[in-house]
Amino acid sequence: MASSSPDGSDNKIIFEIAPNGDFTRHGVSSGGIHSSLNVAGTLKVQDGYLIETITNSSQRGARLPRVSREKIIRADDHEIVFTIEGMTNQIAIKKDVP
């Protein structure tokens, strides 16, 4: 799955999500360059929120685990749209179809 960039650029965040909710995430710039920040953890849906628990991060000094809640606006088999708590921008994660 790929998350579109909120700033409208072609930068993407690539999620690999297992059926049990385990995930890895890394960024890719519009030039195809992978970012040096990689994270892993678990995702679950609870009471209309996407709960992300980051348990591993390449960021030096990251305090783990880190839990965030995103309000789900809509979701289907191909896309989930949510807002991060305290923000108004919508973020979409879309399933890549080969």
Q: Residue 44: which of 4, 14, 80, 10 has the closest Cα?
A: 80
Tens digits of pLDDT across the chain (98 residues): 544 444 455 667 888 889 999 999 887 776 666 666 789 999 999 999 999 999 999 988 999 999 999 999 999 999 999 998 888 899 888 888 76
Has this prediction a pTM greater than 0.85? no
**Could you give the CA distance from residue 81 to residue 1 in angstroms, rounded to a whole number?**
12
**How many other β-carbons are positioned within 10 Å of the β-carbon of residue 39?**
21
Domain span including residue 52: 2-94
Domain CATH number, residue 23: 2.40.128.280
Name residue 71's amino acid: K
**pLDDT on residue 14:** 83
**Could you give the CA distance from residue 23 to residue 64 in angstroms, rounded to a whole number?**
15
**Domain count within the chain:** 1
Beta-strand relationship, 34-46 and 22-28: antiparallel
